[in-house]
Amino acid sequence: MLITTNAIVLSKIRYKDNDLIVTCYTQEKGVLSFLIRGVLKSKRGNSKAAYYQLLSQLQLVINFKENRNLHAIKEAKPINIYQSLHTNILKSAIVMFLAEVLATSLKEEEKNKGLYEYLENALVLLDSQSNFANFHLLFLLKLTKYLGFYPDDTEIDFQYFNLSEGQFELQPSNKHSISGENLTLLKTMLGINFDAISTLKISSQKRQTFLNMMLLYFELHLGNFKKPKSLQIFNQVFN
């Protein structure tokens, strides 16, 4: 069955000499993987391998077959072409990190219009921003809304936040209750959107501490989530 769908590249690995296995989050079918034969062959003028850079946005015509692990791409063309995500070294580090987080977090093989639109729009916004050092923090926080564990802010005035329960509390109830600077920053983040993220003044140390807290939050709520391998490189770039 041929399906036309927009897609965001989550990961790619080389297969044999000239092939790629590419995993995408698609607008119509959720997470799908594709075997793309011959895309790495050295042909003059062949730029198709560049289509599959991490977090690139594509329109695909795919040969979709139920219960298949690998599908075939009949046609591919870039959409929402980025100007800086793959050329700016700092943005490239964010792309590598977020792609790994998404590849680990997104397992569903079903349509989720809201999630796709969130990813699509957030990446276009990152591409256009000049002050983006805190972008990934808000990106991860807002992503939890679509993954089902966005913080319950009903009692946002309370002095602790329980990471394992996803809610604010008066007193710490277990080892995953946080307070202090991480709590203050979390409350601030819950009240802003991407347009305001550039106004936050956060030291690199606070940024790294908050990021580690967010990754723990993901681990507590997503059974198979693991800290990205790119985290160490990412922290080095932003320190």
Q: State pLDDT tens for residues 161-183.
A: 999 999 999 999 999 999 999 99
> Region 33-45: what's the mean pLDDT?
77
Domains within the chain, CATH numbers bracketed: 1-81 (2.40.50.140), 84-239 (1.20.1440.120)
DSSP-assigned states of every residue in 30-86: EEEEEEETTTTS--TT--GGGGGSTT-EEEEEEE--TT-SSBEEEEEEE-S--SSTT
How far apart (Å, rounded) are the C-alpha atoms in residues 85 and 56?
9
Q: What is the pTM of this model?
A: 0.94
The confidence score (pLDDT) of residue 18 equals 86
The band of 38, judged by pLDDT with boundaries at 50, 70 and 90, is confident
Question: For residue 147, what pLDDT is reported?
Answer: 95
pLDDT over 80 (residue 109): no
Check: CB of residue 22 under 8 Å from CB of residue 36: yes
Give Cβ neighbours of residue 141 (< 8 Å, ≥ 6 apart).
Answer: 150, 151, 186, 189, 190, 214
What is the dihedral angle through the alpha carbons of 165, 168, 171, 172, rounded to the nearest 10 degrees? Answer: 40
Residues 6 or more apart from 52 whose CB is under 8 A from it? 9, 12, 20, 22, 36, 39, 58
Kindly report the backbone phi and psi dihedral angles of residue 59, in degrees, each rounded to the nearest multiple of 5, phi listed first.
-110, 125
Q: What is the pLDDT of residues 116-163, one digit of tens each?
A: 999 999 999 999 999 999 999 999 999 999 999 999 999 999 999 999
Mean pLDDT of 200-221: 95
The answer, yes or no, to whether residue 225 has pLDDT greater than 70, is yes
pLDDT at 32: 95
